[in-house]
Structure 1
Amino acid sequence: MNLNKIKSMLSKSAKILGDVNAAKNDTLGKRIARRSAGKATNKLLRSLFKSRENILRLSPKKLYLN
Structure 2
Amino acid sequence: MVRARKNIYFTEKQVERLERKSREENLPEAEIVRRALDAYLAWDDPTYQPTPPTPQTRKSHSSPG
What TM-score do the two structures reach when normalised by structure 2?
0.32
Give 1 or 2 for the bigger CA radius of gyration.
Answer: 1
Higher RCO, 1 vs 2 (CA within 8 Å, ≥6 residues apart): 2
What TM-score do the two structures reach when normalised by structure 1?
0.31
